[in-house]
Amino acid sequence: MGTSKDKLEYSVVIPVYNEEDNAELLYNRIVEALESMKSPYEVVFVDDGSSDKTFQVLSDLKKSDENLKVIKFRGNFGQSAAMGAGFKYASGKIVIAMDGDLQNDPMDIPNLVKKMNEGYDIVSGWRKNRKDKMIIRKIPSKIANRLVQKLTGVKIHDTGCSLKAYRKDILNKIRVYGELHRFIPALGGIEGARISEVEVTHHERKFGVSKYNITRTFRVIMDLISLNVFMKYLSNPLQFFGRLGLVFNALGLSFLGIMLYCLQFSNFTFEEVNVLVSTTFLFFAAGFQILFFGLIANVVVRTSNRIKK
């Protein structure tokens, strides 16, 4: 079908990294799924700096399909960066994201869209019968999903599933970095998005090598912590900076008390007094500086809200 940008209904975004054996098979299955939906579409592959023939395979496919778009990164910047670039480039009213390793099934795309047509803005896939290794994939994923549900309040079972459908206007309000592509539903919730999920098929990887390793879990946890702080204090950052600043000021007062006590009742040398004075000053300076940052952050948030209105 034609792909006039103002008439595009669906965009499918797929970040890929060294997936030369999967690229063509995945492309064919995506096209099969989208053709069955009888609406204008585009397929956007984002090559995240592959060192194999992935880009060449996609470029050859592009020559015979005007609906296929290929973005090439100069280096490997990570899945979130690749997905963010694909989202920015996508022109469809509904954007579907998925992995490039053939573990997500493109035939689930119509089910996600069907659920979205019930009035939702984001529909997440749920790999209920996940085909991954228990220790390094399933267990960390279960722990992460529980943490995400508790910290963000978004009640979906499988945050890590890349197969998701989004309304383009919601994606336009979200900036993806770090490992935050996993938490887009939570970020969308801040914007008032209506969120749901559907069960999807999950296949074992047949070709290529998984890019997942245990260090990625720690990056996800760090991003989750920052996301939790962001969600709690987005509208009033002074609450966060104020509490932190008061802690430092309280430490400064404590050291001031210790210094005065020691000067009154102990025979301190000049060097020892100098250390206490310096420490007291540093805590007070840090406390007031953090409070100042909080005031600036509050001004930025208030100004931004006025501009949006």
pLDDT at 2: 45
pLDDT at 307: 53
- Report pLDDT digits (tens) over 262-282: 777 777 666 767 888 888 899
- Indicate whether 144 and 259 sit together in one domain: no
Q: Beginning with the edge strand found earlier in the chain, give each strand of the sheet holding 122-126 in spatial order.
A: 68-72, 41-47, 10-16, 94-97, 164-167, 122-126, 195-199
Residue 47 near residue 73, CB atoms below 8 Å: yes
- Report pLDDT digits (tens) over 217-232: 666 666 666 666 666 6
- Indicate whether 284 and 184 sit together in one domain: no
CA dihedral sign, ordered 222, 227, 228, 233: positive
Q: What is the span of the domain harbouring residue 264?
A: 237-308
- Report pLDDT digits (tens) over 91-148: 999 999 999 999 999 999 999 999 999 999 999 999 888 776 655 566 666 777 777 7
Q: Which of 12-21, 35-44, 171-180, 224-233 has the lowest mean pLDDT?
A: 224-233
Residues above pLDDT 90, as percent of the chain: 45
- Report pLDDT digits (tens) over 143-166: 777 777 777 677 788 877 889 999
Residue 3 domain-assigned? no
This model's pTM is above 0.85: no
Residue range 57-85: mean pLDDT, rounded: 93
- Indicate whether 105 and 161 sit together in one domain: yes
Residues above pLDDT 70, as percent of the chain: 79
Domain boundary among 233, 260, 277: 233
- Report pLDDT digits (tens) over 166-175: 999 988 887 7
Q: From CA 14, how far away is CA 16, in angstroms rounded?
A: 6
pLDDT at 88: 92
Domain boundary among 191, 215, 233: 233
Per the model's pLDDT, the better-predicted residue between 235 and 18 turns out to be 18
Task: Report CA dihedral (216, 222, 228, 233) to the nearest 10 degrees.
Answer: -140
- Indicate whether 166 and 21 sit together in one domain: yes
Nearest-CA neighbor of 227 among 196, 192, 188, 170? 188
Place of tokens 């005065």: 260
pLDDT at 4: 55
* pLDDT greater than 70 at residue 211: no
- Indicate whether 73 and 174 sit together in one domain: yes
Residue 282 domain-assigned? yes
Domain boundary among 199, 233, 267: 233
Structure-token pair, residue 233: 């204090």
Q: Mean pLDDT over all residues of the chain?
A: 83
- Indicate whether 192 and 258 sit together in one domain: no
